[in-house]
Structure 1
């Protein structure tokens, strides 16, 4: 069979040195398709989160505690798209790491930092929405700018310390050699994917997921109960004014449900795979691993679409930004109107 008819052809080495990783060369069409898919993912991640940053930063009416959380989330996802995804795309397509061990460690640090930071933000946003819907009267006093800053500090601080300790602190590795898998060959960048890291990573991704699911179920129950109460009030009083509140609560529950669902679709396969690899001595093929990790990356592109782009006020804000109508803020937000939350 002619090699040009093969979907992929294996080349022995990434580098012409002993111990080099084997390299996989895809046909031109497949290689181009993968690069385009990765480029589209990066473009969606960068542009979507950049629009969130610009809109929330520019319009003072959007300077609320919840929106500051979204602003910080967008920053983490934007940095992931700018600093991590381009090199991950090259590694996925070329099946080799060409940027050296030091940069591999830095790339892994940033990758884990931004992904964990994004997940922590999603968890805190769920907590914020839980208070807003389940305890609306006390919500303005419970979730203030100060509380939002504390949540943001935890979301950045804990992942930073955790990742730094496991990547740059030599003391952690002492006495734990039986847990760690050495880098298998020259040209590989998989420092984090060892047994110890896999066992610790699983609860780090699983518990925020469990928190979000629990809060979503409670929010869904409370939102339905409030909707029924408002509907009964409308029928008894003949007033339709509270109807907007009912729609708002239902939209909040629906939005958070979509967020949790997409989070599960994006992160659960990768998280389960890392745990299975720990138990079965890293049996995941490199191609499958790349697919799973890019599914996880895709969550950062979805966050602006879930939390922000589905709202009319944000689409209007983006339109004003894109058309350079910076002096028309009053058309978007009438005087004495302040947006307290977006979902």
Structure 2
């Protein structure tokens, strides 16, 4: 009974992950008003979440449900490499988003000249390439197994198993560079952003008489701050979801991999559920996303010139 419930929960999670992120991709791709540097990063992050939900989560669900891996050693390496690649790409994208928000809120006059579509797309491509290299090189060259006892390696690589096992150095360095250091830096950036945003909000509120241009600038500033707050929540959810796994990733090699594999798999699944939560956050906090969903649901995106529909006022 418990296995049946867990299977249905995992299957529902996969469906929500794929469908939710697909809606984000369609919304940003279709509506021209959403073609901004920030949303290009959000779009790329949604593609990562979609691929993780569609290609990484199902094999894990099958392994957990059947308590065995039936897809062979090669696909196991591809599967684990893809998981590392998407996780790394996520943290890089969140880092880029935090930098984008920093310039949008703290340096609004320089933002449009410094952050443009070409720069954003170039950074997105670089992040995908670096993540792919990191994910596949480590696993296929078995750098994560260097220094481990040969007998132990044979034990963990037995038929029917597919786990990401790392030595002390690999576990520590991968966790530091993929989670702890970027997470700490992003938290510092967002704290700085919110400090500046509060000062801006206080300054606008204290100005009794505003011209039309000032009111427009104030509305734009308010929208930027709201977008920053939403993306900070996305960052927070990412850190909360992945923290248990990365704690295990550091501790497990130090205790000779004594942490139960079931617990590690559970924490891994919680980490992957971050890809499920992101589109739900967009739907809850972004009015433009809710409006886009209505247009998609009623098929209005197939009407001529629907891509120019205004989802929010400038």
**What TM-score does the superposition give when structure 1 sets the normalisation length?**
0.81
Of 14, 21, 39, which aligns to 1:67? 39
Give 1:168-187 correspondences, 5 Å limit: 168-169=140-141, 172=143, 176-178=146-148, 182=153, 183-184=155-156, 185-187=158-160
- Aligned pair 1:288/2:263, yes or no? yes
RMSD: 2.5
- Match for residue 310 of structure 2? 333
The match for 1:241 is 215
CA drift of 1:330 comes to 7.2
Which residue pairs with 2:3 in the alignment?
Answer: 31
Instruction: Tell me how many residue pairs correspond in the alignment.
Output: 306
The 3 A distance-change label for structure 1 pair 64 and 201 is same
Corresponding residue to 1:224 among 194, 198, 204: 198
Structure 1 pair 251–60 and aligned structure 2 pair: CA distance change class (3 A) = closer
- 2:244 corresponds to which residue? 269
Distance 1:140 1:94, change over 3 A: same
Q: Within 2, Cα distance between the matches of 1:72 and 1:260?
A: 15
| Separation of aligned partners in 1, 2:136 and 2:266 | 26
Contact 1:267 1:295 in 2 (8 A): yes
Distance 2:53 2:122 in 1: 25
SS in 2 for 1:138: helix
Deviation of 1:195 after TM superposition, in Å, equals 3.2
TM-score, normalised with respect to structure 2: 0.89
Q: Does 1:201 align with 2:171?
A: no
Partner residue in 1 for 2:279: 304
Cα displacement string for residues 87-136 of structure 1 (whole angstroms, at most 9, x for unaligned residues): 11111222221211111111111111112112211111111111100000
| Offset of residue 138 of structure 1 | 0.5
State the secondary structure of the residue aligned to 1:241.
helix
- Contact map agreement 2:144 2:167 (CA 8 A) in 1: no
Q: Which runs of 5+ in 1 are unaligned?
A: 1-28
Aligned 8 A contact 1:119 1:205 in 2: yes
The structural deviation recorded for 1:168 is 2.1
Question: Cα offset for 1:246?
Answer: 5.4
Structure 2 residue aligned with 1:115: 87
2:231 counterpart (244, 253, 256): 256
Deviation, structure 1 residue 249: 4.5
For the residues of structure 2 that align with 1:284 and 1:303, how far apart are their CA atoms? 29
Query: Is the contact made by 1:72 and 1:152 (CA closer than 8 Å) also made in structure 2?
Result: yes
* Cα deviation, residue 137, structure 1: 0.5
Paired with 2:144 and 2:39, the residues of 1 have a C-alpha distance of: 40
Partners of 1:131 and 1:306 in 2: CA distance: 23
Q: How far is the alpha carbon of 1:298 from its aligned partner? A: 0.9
| Structure 2 SS opposite 1:315 | helix
Gaps of 5+ in 2: none
Deviation of 1:338 after TM superposition, in Å, equals: 8.3
Structure 1 residue 332: Cα displacement:
3.3
Q: How far does the alpha carbon of each residue in 1:207-263 deviate from its partner, in whole angstroms, 9 at most, with x for none?
A: 221121011101110110100000111x35598936534533442343233223212
1:338–1:152 CA distance, 2 compared to 1 (3 A): farther
Structure possessing the higher radius of gyration over alpha carbons: 1
1:134 aligns with 2:109: no
Does residue 1:317 correspond to 2:292, yes or no? yes
Q: Is contact 2:106–2:193 with CA below 8 Å preserved after alignment?
A: yes
